[in-house]
Amino acid sequence: MENNFFSKLLQLPYLNRWLIFISDLFLSVSSTVISFLVIDLILMATSSIRFMAPVLFASTLCSAISFLFFQTYKGVIRHSTFVEAGRIGLASLLKAAGLFPAAFFFPETPDTPYLFVAAIIDVSITFFMLIFLRVVLISIYNQMVDGVNNRTERDRLLILDSGPRSVSLIGSSLAAIERNYRIAGFLNMDHTHALRMGKYRTYGIKKQEEFDRLTVRLNVKAVLFPDYKSVKKEQEQLIRFCEKRKVRMLILPSIDEWRENNKYLPEVRIEDLLNREEIRINLAEIVSHLQNKVILVTGAAGSIGGELSRQVCRLGAKQLILIDNAETPLHNIRLELEEKFPEIKFHFIIGDVRIRERMENLFARFYPQVVFHAAAYKHVPLMEENPCEAVLSNVGGTVNIADLSVKYGVEQFVMISTDKAVNPANVMGASKRMAEIYIQSLGLSISQGRKEGITRFTTTRFGNVLGSNGSVIPRFREQLRKGGPLTVTHPDIIRYFMTIPEACSLVLEAASIGEGNEIFIFDMGEPVKIADLARRMIELAGMEPGKDIQIAYTGLRPGEKLYEELLATKENALPTSNPKICKARVREYDYADVLPQILALCETARNVDVTETVRQLKTAIPEFRSKQSSYEYLDAETGYRILKKR
């Protein structure tokens, strides 16, 4: 019962500000009285008694004015800092500065030297009393926290001392962390001297043995990293120490994540350990591009479409139309977005981009200004087995949305493409390349005045995104949960990776800088060997690869390359205002030549003529060469009709 009472008390965001105001006022007036009595005691006089009533009135008035002016009562006491102490000092000075001239209006005015000394003493005592009150309240709070923590079973953790970021924790997040964890102290990797940070001790270590002894002695179950930068910095030292000792690694989340779930801290993920630079975007330019716009997102229930929708909401979109043919995932993102962004008007549409009549109904109803086209089939082996569906969705669906964008005056159309469209080795990549060719040729035709329209077409091309639906990391996590093995297709297979939020941020910036008919390519960092990724995930789980969890090699799947490319061999990259985004200089195609081939290809796919569908893709895209596929024999055929080169 007692423990429950203290727990509820600790969860109060702050004491009532007017209670603090009254307490400060009482202490301030008391300080004034004490200062006059001290002078009388020194002078062995009783002169202050004659004008004590007006002193009390003036002190109360001046104190109230100074506290209201500097708002000393509004601070959260347990998070008080030197800034708060400075504010209290200034309030004390303002109070004394008001009292000094007010004394000349007393019925019996004290001598000026008497008033001057009284003012100095008053400032000192007032400052001391107000600071002392806050120290006492903080001490009581800390004792209550320690008491509640000692009565409950909570994991003990060490916080990595990474400089200013760690210091800032003392005045901000520590109280929230202490609700669910017991802080054993701070951990410093640069020295072995014992220091203190606030009320916590700092422990210095340099070796695995020192870390092991410390975690055993303090019964530490986890280490908290203040930010992603510190995670990457320590991945060859402290991360390894934690992996070997099987100590959990936690990371302090962003403010948004902390608000969504402030109970338990998230664990360090494999995404946080990739050796990639932090991506910075021009937020102001993106906001001006999308703010107060009507925006349509296709494939909105997918990993990329969903994150695009979240980021667009944060940038101040006026209205958002989200389209997908997957009912349950769309329902889930509806619940999330309506809760987080109640000020935005949403329309959640079950529909298929392949059905032109359904899409035209939506365009005629909402008249979107910006379209993000993320709807596509993406899994290489499945599309290799179902090439007609790949064409109908990835090519036909793109044609429908692009044509309707032109017809209904959309300002900008942004297509989400893939690195697999470069020198495609599979049907999925070839279908995306065909979609790229169509929208680029359509945009060129508009810009050259041969087709009426105002729509600017932009393509964004990037590699694998970490944690997306059906990607390698979720699959590895599931295999780990089952005890392994982790399956990798080939020991040497490599891929480029980017987090979903990073990819979507770059898509938004590419949209803001796009002038029309560009293919933007994102800097994906260094490629990652999938086998190394599997080993690191096993280590993060506190196990040893090859001993606790095996890695099994299953062989390359149909249409799979050992490596992906972001630029075709005949293409060149041009820089943009963002060093993480470059523009591909690609072949230009004539819309008059492309359109009949696209229409014929989609008609063949609708007739479910699998062989002819793939043959027509290879005819239209001569660099399409199948790998580990049953369609390889088509590459040997001659007499391909190649699209005219402009």
On the question of pLDDT at 383 being above 90, the answer is: yes
Cα distance between residue 410 and residue 551, in whole Å: 49
Tens-place pLDDT, residues 410-428: 999 999 999 899 889 999 9
Q: What percent of the chain has pLDDT over 70?
A: 80
Residue with more model confidence, 19 or 387: 387
Q: What is the DSSP string of 565-593?
A: -SS-TT-EEEE-SSTTEEEEE---B-HHH
Tell me which of 23-27, 104-108, 263-267 is least confident.
104-108
User: Residue range 522-534: average pLDDT?
Assistant: 83
Tell me which of 194-203, 297-306, 471-480 is least confident.
194-203
On the question of pLDDT at 225 being above 80, the answer is: yes
Q: What is the DSSP string of 432-443?
A: HHHHHHHHHHHH
Q: What percent of the chain has pLDDT over 90?
A: 30
CA 17-19-21 angle, to 5 degrees, is 70
- The closest alpha carbon to 435, from 461, 467, 455, 471, belongs to 461
Domains assigned to the chain: 2-148 (no CATH), 156-268 (3.40.50.720), 283-465+498-525+565-620 (3.40.50.720)
Residue with more model confidence, 477 or 325: 325
First to last CA, the chain: 81
pLDDT score, position 86? 78
Residue type, 536: R
Most confidently predicted of 184-188, 369-373, 551-555: 369-373
**Cis status, amide bond into 485, omega within 30 of 0:** yes
pLDDT score, position 452? 93
Q: 503: pLDDT confidence band, cut at 50, 70 and 90?
A: confident
On the question of pLDDT at 73 being above 90, the answer is: no
pLDDT score, position 243? 81
- The closest alpha carbon to 315, from 281, 339, 292, belongs to 292
Q: Where are the alpha helices (DSSP H) in 374-482?
A: 380-385, 387-390, 397-407, 427-447, 472-481
pLDDT score, position 642? 41
Residue 9 CB burial class (10 angstroms; 0-12, 13-18, ≥19):
exposed
User: Residue range 238-250: average pLDDT?
Assistant: 85
pLDDT score, position 247? 87
On the question of pLDDT at 402 being above 50, the answer is: yes
pLDDT averaged over every residue in the chain: 82
Tell me which of 399-403, 468-472, 522-526 is least confident.
468-472
Residue with more model confidence, 199 or 506: 506
Q: 638: pLDDT confidence band, cut at 50, 70 and 90?
A: very low
Q: Give the SS3 label for residue 186.
A: strand
Cα distance between residue 466 and residue 81, in whole Å: 40
Cα dihedral across residues 96, 100, 105, 108: positive or negative: positive
pLDDT score, position 359? 96
pLDDT score, position 567? 61
CA distances from 122 to 130, 202, 412, 492 (A): 12, 39, 67, 77
Name, in order, each residue with C-beta under 8 angstroms of 86's C-beta and a sequence gap of 6 or more: none
**C-alpha neighbours within 13 Å on the C-beta side of residue 82:** 3
CA 413-417-422 angle, to 5 degrees, is 135
